[in-house]
């Protein structure tokens, strides 16, 4: 595999299963998370992995239910440590899965703090192997309006299906 293999790039908000599948390709590579435009420090820790089942009512009074996995990263420098390998990250998750049911397809959220600033919530972009490491860019997880998100997705799907070819007449 090329160290600049970007064949999986472009996907955002990947699941834990997708992240683990990618890290399994070359477990010896350092796993470097990037957030706020910078990489985590080499001494970072995975301080917690937790799974939750959520039930909610969205702002349109629609019931919602989903499972989510949270991986907490403590962005610190400790001595002469280097970034943990992809294999070590996978081993931590496997160890957690011996005690906690982890759904690999669940929504994946990273909680990141340097121990001083409050934790921030991020989703993970698809890992990119480059410069001898797996780089996973973490993107801030914004609030959203689920009814609006569904409406936009339905509108995009409708436009794609009825306006997808030059031979078809666009719907209104």
Q: What pTM value is reported for the model? A: 0.82
Is it the case that residue 140 has pLDDT exceeding 80? Answer: yes
DSSP state of 54: E
Domain hosting 92: range is: 16-160
Per residue in 30-65, pLDDT (tens digit) is: 999 999 999 999 999 999 999 999 999 999 999 999
Rounded Cα–Cα distance for residues 159 and 119 (Å): 39
Question: Does a structural domain hold residue 11?
Answer: no
Rounded Cα–Cα distance for residues 105 and 115 (Å): 29
Question: Does a structural domain hold residue 102?
Answer: yes
The confidence score (pLDDT) of residue 1 equals 36
Domain count of the fold of the chain: 1
Residues 15 and 107 sit within 8 Å (Cβ to Cβ): yes
Q: If you count DSSP H runs as helices and E runs as strands, how many of each does the chain have, helices first?
A: 3, 8
Residues 107 and 125 sit within 8 Å (Cβ to Cβ): no
Residue closest to 135 by CA, chosen among 143, 125, 144, 145 = 125
CA angle, residues 18, 22, 24, in degrees to nearest 5 = 115
Per residue in 106-121, pLDDT (tens digit) is: 999 999 999 999 999 9
Is it the case that residue 6 has pLDDT exceeding 50? Answer: no
Phi-psi domain of 37 (left: phi exceeds 0; alpha: psi -120 through 50; beta: other): left
Question: Does a structural domain hold residue 91?
Answer: yes
Question: Does a structural domain hold residue 125?
Answer: yes
Is it the case that residue 169 has pLDDT exceeding 60? Answer: no
Rounded Cα–Cα distance for residues 44 and 76 (Å): 5
Question: Does a structural domain hold residue 9?
Answer: no
Question: Does a structural domain hold residue 86?
Answer: yes
Question: Does a structural domain hold residue 75?
Answer: yes
pLDDT > 90: percent of the chain: 70
Question: Does a structural domain hold residue 168?
Answer: no
């Amino acid at each position: 595999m090329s160290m600049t293999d970007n064949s999986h790039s472009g996907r955002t908000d990947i699941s834990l299963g997708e992240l683990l599948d990618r890290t399994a390709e070359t477990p010896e590579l350092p796993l470097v998370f990037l957030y706020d435009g910078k990489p985590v420090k080499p001494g970072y820790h995975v301080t917690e992995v937790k799974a939750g089942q959520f039930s909610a009512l969205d702002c349109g009074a629609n019931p919602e239910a989903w499972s989510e996995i949270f991986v907490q990263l403590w962005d610190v420098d400790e001595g002469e440590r280097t970034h943990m390998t992809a294999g070590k990250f996978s081993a931590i998750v496997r160890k957690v899965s011996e005690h906690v049911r982890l759904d690999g397809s669940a929504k994946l959220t990273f909680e990141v703090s340097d121990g001083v600033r409050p934790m921030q919530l991020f989703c993970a972009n698809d890992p990119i192997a480059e410069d001898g490491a797996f780089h996973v860019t973490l993107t801030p997880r914004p609030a959203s309006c689920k009814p609006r998100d569904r409406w936009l997705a339905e509108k995009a799907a409708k436009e794609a299906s009825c306006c997808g070819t030059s031979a078809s007449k666009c719907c209104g």
